[in-house]
Amino acid sequence: MPRLLTLFLALPILEIVAFALVAATIGVGKAILLQVAISAIGIAMLGSLVSEAKTESRRRGGLVSFAMDGSKGLRGVAGLLFAIPGFITDVIGVLALVPEFRTRIRRFLGWAEVAPATVHPQTARPARKEMLDLDQAEWREVEPARRPER
């Protein structure tokens, strides 16, 4: 935790230095436009995650969940890092999207490793915790209830 705090406190100074280096290379106007474009991408990524969560909650009939687990967690972190102006946070955001670096980032942040989903052998689809798996002898098909006519 102390190294994360140190990086967090040093980040504004490092971002100013990185912006000055990029601006000296490509020009101040282009550097500002690049930062605005990357921030817009980050906001769009976060909006996409919110709409996915809303769609999933409608499908399940429950509350909207913004759990930062699995790949959505680091996609959310990447979107947040893109939305924050700065080239260093953008580089860290890109690394959060690369699968090889996700394990390293999770380990650095102290997050638990994500276990792979279990696959049911008969259906070859991932088994979900809210799904009840029955054999053919344990269920029967029932006609759907009809709506009363008006």
Residue 105 inside a domain? The answer is: yes
| DSSP class per residue in 97-129 | HSHHHHHHHHHHHTPPPPPPPPB-TTT-SB--T
In a domain, 27, yes or no: yes
Strands (E), 28-70: none
Contact 107, 119 (CB under 8 A): no
Its pTM surpasses 0.85: no
Counting the structural domains of the chain, the total is 1
102 compared with 68, residue with greater pLDDT: 102
The reply to whether 127 falls in a domain is no
More confident residue, 45 or 133: 45
The conformational region for residue 61 under phi > 0 = left, psi -120 to 50 = alpha, else beta, is: left
Is 34 a domain residue?
yes
**Tokens standing for residue 67:** 């759990």
pLDDT at 41: 95
Report the C-alpha dihedral over residues 102, 108, 111, 113, rounded to 10 degrees: 50
The verdict on residue 9 lying in a domain is yes
In a domain, 136, yes or no: no
Does 73 score more than 60 pLDDT? yes
Q: What is the mean pLDDT of the chain?
A: 80
List the domain range (segments joined by +) for residue 39: 2-117
Between the ranges 78-87, 103-112, 124-133, where is the mean pLDDT highest? 78-87
User: In sequence order, which residues have a C-beta less than 8 Å from that of residue 35 and are 6 or more positions away?
Assistant: 19, 85, 86, 87
The answer to whether position 62 is within a domain reads yes
Grade residue 80 by pLDDT with cuts at 50, 70 and 90. very high
Q: Is residue 73 part of a domain?
A: yes
**Arithmetic mean of pLDDT, 115-134:** 54
Q: At 128, is the pLDDT very low, low, confident or very high (cuts 50, 70, 90)?
A: low
